[in-house]
A and B are shown apart, each in its own frame.
Chain A
Amino acid sequence: MKLKLKIWRQLNANTPGKLVDYQLEGVEEDMSFLEMLDYLNEKLILSDERPVEFDHDCREGICGTCGLFINGRAHGPLAGTSTCQLHMRSFSDGDTIYIEPFRGGAFKVTRDLKIDRSAFDRIIMAGGFISTPVGDAPEANAIPITHDEAESAFDSAACIGCGACVATCKNGSAALFTSAKITHLAKLPQGKAEAQQRALGMIAQMDAEGFGHCSNTKACQVECPQEISVTNIDRMNWEFNKAKVLK
């Protein structure tokens, strides 16, 4: 497989970047997208060029570290797939592939395709936890909630914090990420006690980081690799309004 790559190269946060063209031959369709970049980097290193830097960790779709804007879409063309789970069989010989970093909100490009997503960590630190030590996982039947509620909380908890929602939002809004974290804990008995201060704290931090407003276009749920539902945002808004009224 022979590809033409247009990759965003940027030395650091303070210098402007630009798309640079690369021709890459010998790509196999069984390579993952990140392996294709590894393969490119090997060639760049051998020819004494600076390799393309990108975020990655588990490479099995559960850590949320990798995240590239591929051909105009977050995590590329497939639905419900993170960048590391995208394979070159989704592309054809002779294709041109645009590879850009996620942009929007508080995300800043630190180098090439790497971005600073620490704003998400600070949102979690503003309330995305339960203060009381609750010990190990309790015996499932001892938790006073139904199976459906537990599953629904888990659906929200499945968010891996990759930032595709922000990257794809026309407003650079982090509503889907923040709402998934708020909803996950609001649905569980352990999380209910702090639900109000959690909602207010995390939303205040989300705003302080400079993320935009949610317009309910629902593009985020379409591009989310974990298919987190926008109904989480409805729940966040409900929790916020409830907290404001009851405060």
Chain B
Amino acid sequence: MNTTLARKNLMALTGLFLCLFLVVHLVGNLQLLLPPEKAAVQFNLYSKFMTSNFFIKVISYLLYASIVLHAVYALVITVKNRQAACGGYAYDRRGTASPWYSRYMGILGTVILLFLVVHMKDFWFEYKFGSLPLDREGNKDLFSIVVESFGQLWYLGFYTVAFIALGYHLLHGVHSAFKTLGIYPRKLSNFLYYSGIGLTLILTVGFIVIPIFVFFKYHMP
């Protein structure tokens, strides 16, 4: 980890792994869209599976490590880049040469990290260490907690803002990760660029739509 390229490789690999996780997470969340009776049973069963299966446990530790490494190295890289940038200019219009979200990955990442803390506290921590009621199948009733949380408008707003930040983070991050790894041959460059945008759109819209769906389905008369 003593070269700039090695540090960026770590960012790219952990970032892509986290993207893969987001896809799985979104697919799991889609169960919230099922008819109410089915959704509750299905979602609670799924939650139990995700927290008790051995292989998923191993992957979840990889996931925690990825989040920590991605955040810590982002900080290391930012500090080193600040030193290398030597201050700046009295009159600075460099921003016209690149999209804003590619320059503010750190800020967008911080918003996502803040979101993660709240998200993990409210669902992950509650599920593992809180005293949840059981559903009629005898599984911990995470579904009710989720539905209840999304009944609050500020919570819905917070989630939406966080996912927009995630969207912009991925809009630059996905194709940038492939470039960093050097896996960006000319013949595939368009495919990689546009599939990065496609994946970003699916994840962002998917994650934003589900809480809004829950709000309208369960909290509107």
- Enumerate chain A interface residues (CB-CB to B < 8 A): 6, 8, 19, 69, 71-74, 98, 100, 103-105, 107, 168-173, 203-204, 206-207, 210-219, 222-223, 230-231, 233-242, 244
Contact = CB atoms under 8 A, between A and B. Distances in A.
Nearest to A235: B182
Contacts of A233: 179
Interface residues of B, number: 41
A105 B180 CA distance: 20
A162 to B, nearest CB: 15
B182 A71 contact: no
Contacts of B85: 103-104, 169-172, 212
Contacts of B182: 234-242
Given A207-B3, A233-B179, A241-B182, A72 B81 contact: no
Given A203-B3, A211-B4, A215-B105, A72 B98 contact: no
B81 A203 contact: no
B61 interface: no
B88 A241 contact: no
- Indicate the member of A72, A212, A213, A230 with the most B CB atoms within 10 Å: A213
- Indicate the member of A104, A172, A204, A216 with the most B CB atoms within 10 Å: A216
**Chain A contact surface mostly:** mixed
Contacts of B96: 73
Contact of B84 (A171, A218, A222, A241): A171
Contacts of A223: 97
A6 B87 CA distance: 18
Going nearest first, the 8 A-B pairs with the smallest beta carbon separation are: A238-B182, A72-B93, A212-B84, A237-B182, A172-B84, A171-B81, A219-B97, A217-B98
Nearest to B5: A240
Nearest to A204: B3
Contact of A105 (B6, B86, B94, B184): B86
A19 B90 contact: yes
**Chain B contact surface mostly:** helix
A119 B90 CA distance: 24
Contacts of B7: 213
Contacts of B161: none
Contacts of B93: 71-73
Contacts of B80: 212-213
A98 B84 contact: no
Contacts of B77: 213
A242 B183 CA distance: 11
Interface of B: 2-9, 77, 80-81, 83-94, 96-99, 102-103, 105, 172, 175-176, 179-184, 186, 189
7 contacts: A72-B91, A73-B93, A105-B86, A231-B189, A233-B179, A241-B9, A242-B182
B156 to A, nearest CB: 32
A212 B4 contact: yes
Nearest to B86: A103
Contacts of A241: 5, 9, 181-182
A214 B181 CA distance: 12
Nearest to B99: A217
B182 to A, nearest CB: 3
- Indicate the member of B176, B180, B186 with the most A CB atoms within 10 Å: B180
A107 B2 CA distance: 21
Nearest to A101: B89
Contacts of A217: 97-99, 102-103
Nearest to A107: B86
A105 to B, nearest CB: 5
A33 to B, nearest CB: 16
B106 to A, nearest CB: 10
B82 to A, nearest CB: 8
Contacts of A231: 184, 186, 189
Contacts of B105: 215
A216 B102 contact: yes
B13 to A, nearest CB: 11
A236 B90 CA distance: 33
B48 to A, nearest CB: 40
Given A6-B91, A73-B94, A100-B89, 4 more contacts: A72-B93, A98-B89, A217-B97, A219-B97
